[in-house]
Structure 1
Amino acid sequence: MINNLAAKQEVSELQDILYEKNEGAATITINRPKSLNAFRGRTIRELIWAFRDAWDDNRIGVVILTGAGERAFCVGGDQKEKGDEGGYDDNGGLGGGIGLEIENLHQIIRNIPKPVIASVNGYAIGGGHVLHVVCDLTIAADTAKFGQSGPKVGSYDAGFGSAYLARIVGEKKAREIWYLCEQYTAHECKEMGLVNKVVPASELRQATQEWAEKILQKSPTALRMLKASFNADSANIQGISQLAMGSLAMFYNTPESNEGKEAFLEKRPVDFNKFRV
């Protein structure tokens, strides 16, 4: 995880996110709308910094995570940022693993002792879908779309993105979401318990702010203890997530995973059949 002192030195250099605080609420916005708010290594590091800053600021009682523009909340890892060996490492090989500190980001969203609201304004796909899953609450625009894409592009999240998802929507539905990689409307996700509230797109910001204000009226200690209690039952997934990210780093170096990336970039049908022989 980003060292807090180093992180504070980087605050003036934010490129991929917007970060603001207003009357007890911190709003973190993924700001790569031209890429549908897909993330790269820098994006994840900046998100971790912002969540850590909100954690350390006692004036902040709730965090809102959203995406810039009207089209997307986040569509996961930016395939154009993947290197020749499959990973997203943009730090001269110093990052290790897949080049994204995704596991650290998931952990800080879960462990920050303040409720986190995902305000989903558009597509929440792949790794972006996982981000909203690990948030405490999700409010979605009625135009939002949700779904997984990992197996379509030679990737997966076998940690919180699948195991915790199954606790929310049930085993059968979670397997459907991952195996078929289809997209679901905000109303469909509300029916399966994956979204708390659906509002017209024009009212999303206001609705999110209203929930933030309601949370800010509650006891911060009570909320902190409740969040810890809710997290306790699924805390074992952290170990699974560590194994999953380790295996993903190895998988990204294989021709099978590379086929998914190349097909996406070349805008052609993917062909995984040759890996079944």
Structure 2
Amino acid sequence: MDYSDILYDVRDRTATITVNRPHRLNAATRRTYYEMTDAIRRAGWDRDIGVIVLTGAGTRAFGIGGDKDEKKADRVDNGIGVLGNGVEELQTAIRDVPKPVIAKVRGYAVGSGNVLVTLCDLAIAAENAEFGQVGPKMGSVDPGFGTAFLARTVGEKRAREIWYLCRRYKAHEALAMGLVNAVVPDDKLDEEVDSWCREINERSPTAIAIAKRSFNADSENIRGIGQLAFSALALYFGTDEAKEGGNALREKRKPDFVGSMYRGR
């Protein structure tokens, strides 16, 4: 695949995949998701690569979720996966490749950006990083790993708070709840991630691959639950209620989700 939305770089047995859409705060389109999936699989099955780093271009955002210029209903097509927008395939790739995937986070990691941080094996954040969910504010949700696996990561009460209230959390708050492994000054982030990658690359890749499979086995049931729930989400995206969040954003008004439920009835 020829990449237009991401950058792919390999150095010292580490593959770095960078979402290169800083003008959109690294918001993802369907193409972005598919390119990230392709790159992760490419790196994940390359014997000369020991670790994968996932990050966003610029200093303002790791990723803020789906690009709002793509309407949710338009993201549902007859492509691979239930939603057809590449989210499920990307999540599967991160889980299935036998290499650790590290999230290197600067700026905002919200929406599906926050889900990616949750799914990555490790996460290292700059002090300017900010985390949170926006789904219920926009008429969306991640009903698989983004919810159930988040609860395993930060605990049930905190995970429900993150999704129900859609608040923002600073880097050190994310560290305290277990969402990230380390927080460093903004100008030290690259150096810190490089250090972690060097340590991993000194370890047995087969032992690490087996360890990752073992960790994943304990939560693999979430994949099945997610596939069922994404089927419901595909139907939900076609409703006025789901469209209300994006419409309100584009029209610069407060969304009326309750009122939208009764339109056309």
**Band the TM-score falls in, shorter-chain normalisation:** over 0.9
Task: Judge conservation of contact 1:87–1:99 (CA < 8 Å) in 2.
Answer: no
Deviation at 1:276, TM superposition (A): 6.5
Partner residue in 2 for 1:3: none
- Aligned pairs, how many? 262
Partner residue in 1 for 2:117: 132
CA distance in 2, matches of 1:253, 1:275: 12
Task: Please tell me whether residue 24 in structure 1 is matched to residue 13 in structure 2.
Answer: yes
Task: Judge conservation of contact 1:87–1:249 (CA < 8 Å) in 2.
Answer: no
Deviation at 1:24, TM superposition (A): 0.3
Displacement over 6 Å in runs of 4+: none
Task: Please tell me whether residue 74 in structure 1 is matched to residue 59 in structure 2.
Answer: no
* Pairs within 5 Å for 1:180-219: 180-219=165-204
Task: Judge conservation of contact 2:20–2:56 (CA < 8 Å) in 1.
Answer: yes
Q: Which amino acid aligns with 1:33?
A: P
Task: Judge conservation of contact 2:75–2:83 (CA < 8 Å) in 1.
Answer: yes
TM-score by length of 1: 0.91
Q: Where in structure 2 are there 5+ consecutive unaligned residues?
A: none
TM-score by length of 2: 0.95
Match of 2:46 among 57, 75, 78: 57
Q: Which amino acid aligns with 1:44?
A: Y
Task: Please tell me whether residue 153 in structure 1 is matched to residue 153 in structure 2.
Answer: no
Q: Where in structure 1 are there 5+ consecutive unaligned residues?
A: 1-9
Matched position secondary structure for 1:268: coil
Q: How high is the sequence identity, in percent, across the aligned residues? A: 52
Task: Please tell me whether residue 242 in structure 1 is matched to residue 253 in structure 2.
Answer: no
Match of 1:87 among 74, 84, 96: 74
CA distance in 1, matches of 2:92, 2:84: 17
Residues 56-105 of structure 1: per-residue CA shift (max 9 Å, x gap):
2100000000000000000001111126xx2325xx85457433111111
CA distance in 2, matches of 1:94, 1:163: 25
Q: Name which of structure 1's ranges 99-108 and 234-243 shifts more when overlaid on structure 2.
A: 99-108
Cα-Cα RMSD: 1.4
Partner residue in 1 for 2:89: 104
Partner residue in 2 for 1:4: none
* Pairs within 5 Å for 1:157-172: 157-172=142-157
Partner residue in 2 for 1:5: none
CA distance in 1, matches of 2:187, 2:69: 31
Deviation at 1:275, TM superposition (A): 4.9
Task: Please tell me whether residue 273 in structure 1 is matched to residue 262 in structure 2.
Answer: no
